[in-house]
Structure 1
């Protein structure tokens, strides 16, 4: 797994070809050896950052979450990321037929996971939860994730690059919809009174 992660940052074209060959495993195996581990990075970092470091707003003392609140929110975030990868993989698998591609579901899960790898790795920034750092890292990460998506689709799905551009655009649009749905769900949950609890 680690060599694929490093390869996506150093030589993405070649790494996508290796991932395509390596991804023919079971869906459960890919989740256990890749998705569960990578998705844990932002969750663990955010838990540490929000309970041990906190946000500093102006000259005020840091704002931190209680351990119970941070644990509950981390668990929900982890579940949302795992479901998000599954939804994206299912969409990719379904949409591939439009482009005469026949990838296995395992390959689609691997593709969704590795495309989101920069987002997972960027979770390290949550160890120091500051707005300027989140914006800087987030912007760079989203740009690189989109780049990986557009480079990876033709290779992993074995389709023409022109069709790959259209396929990638569709995946990007659905990814934005999934993101908005997760944010909307969070707002609803917070509205029900299950929001963060801060240390006073």
Structure 2
């Protein structure tokens, strides 16, 4: 089974694909490592990029979840989504006799895993929070997939497919609420929430502007994940525990952009912060090394000010997750709402995003460099032109060439 072929089959030809799945052996390890673990990374990773790197906005303001909090939420959401699918399979199996079906845990797991395909892929819309509602449409299609596969694989009479599906859906909603509640524990609240392409493309017209999805990059990522799944399958057949562990790590790395567990040192990031921005003196700075929390991250930030004019600069290297930031380049577009203008585009291999208020009260420019390092300049009571000038004082090319070191 090839990952991309199965995904296309279950989405485009669900009835025929469910029939094929019914006759396949229920290999738990293969279902998880070769399929679910890869697809589950999509909503977790895209959610992190959308909330922490691109940001959320509305009603005249925009905000981003701090990177470290976003990373923690990403990891927790990823793990809980895997657990949630497994628990859902247990529920499907337990309910089977109540609806005239036959209990079979392997079949139940196949139903839970493959029915979740559309919902998992819909997580890509989290890259741009404004399009997150489209993820709900994908989730609804997963309900249809569940409706088709449930009676077939669990041997339930077709006449009882609707009530069987309805009960499972209720359980799935409850699981989703529980997972969201647990994940929210790792998200900041209140003021902390603010935080201190070469192939074919799909263009989506929205009331607030255009959004471009770089399908070439999506296809490239899909091929990497498919290759990772193949290695996982070979490792499983070998029966070598160490080889399976290594393959699992390689699969996760592929799903997350192929980056190694290394980051640029905080001292090097701090050195990139200008001592002065024009007439604005540096009033404070902070550095953070994620090694203490077990996360391969480095961050340096500084604040500059003169009266009511305030500028904040942050330089973040997300280490093992750093290359994930480049996925933001899959989504390009622009929009205007409530006096706020935003634009995301590619330039010289970098992903750039600016946001500014027409009244001059705030402006922001963010650059995702070729190596995944993210540089952000935020300003209050200064125009975008000044912010662009401040970004010009940072040697972005030097940051792209900084060596990474292993996290201890």
In the superposition, the TM-score normalised over structure 1's length comes to 0.85
Aligned to 2:172: 175
Alignment match of 1:195 (pick from 187, 197, 200): 187
Number of aligned positions between the proteins: 190
The corresponding residue for 1:13 is: 15
Whether contact under 8 Å (1:93, 1:108) holds in the other structure is: yes
Deviates more, 1:148-157 or 1:119-128: 148-157
In the alignment, structure 1 residue 150 sits paired with structure 2 residue 147: yes
Alignment of 1:103-122 (within 5 A): 104-122=104-122
Q: How does 1:130-141 map to 2 (within 5 A)?
A: 130=130, 133-135=131-133, 137-141=134-138
CA distance in 1 between partners of 2:183 and 2:44 (Å): 16
**Is the contact between residue 94 and residue 103 of structure 2 (CA under 8 Å) also seen in structure 1?**
no
Structure 2 unaligned spans of 5+: 197-408
Higher normalized helix content (fraction of residues): 1
C-alpha change, 1:186 and 1:86, in structure 2 (3 Å) is same
2: CA distance, partners of 1:152 / 1:109? 11
Q: Deviations over 1:31-57 (max 9, x none)?
A: 111111111111111122223211122
- Answer whether contact 2:76 2:183 (CA < 8 A) is retained: no
* Greater strand fraction, Structure 1 or Structure 2: 2
Structure possessing the higher relative contact order (Cα contacts under 8 Å, 6 or more residues apart): 1
Distance 1:150-1:105 versus aligned 2 partners, 3 A rule: same
Greater Rg by CA = 2
| Partners of 2:182 and 2:55 in 1: CA distance | 24
TM-score w.r.t. structure 2 length? 0.44
Q: Is the 8 A contact 2:50 2:129 kept in 1?
A: yes
The offset of 1:159, in angstroms, is 2.6
Contact persistence 1:27–1:105 (CA under 8 A): no
CA RMSD of superposed structures (Å): 2.0
- Distance in 2 between residues matched to 1:152 and 1:88, nearest whole Å: 14
Aligned residue number for residue 57 of structure 1: 58
* Secondary structure in structure 2 of the residue aligned to 1:101: coil
Q: Distance in 2 between matches of 1:49 and 1:139?
A: 16
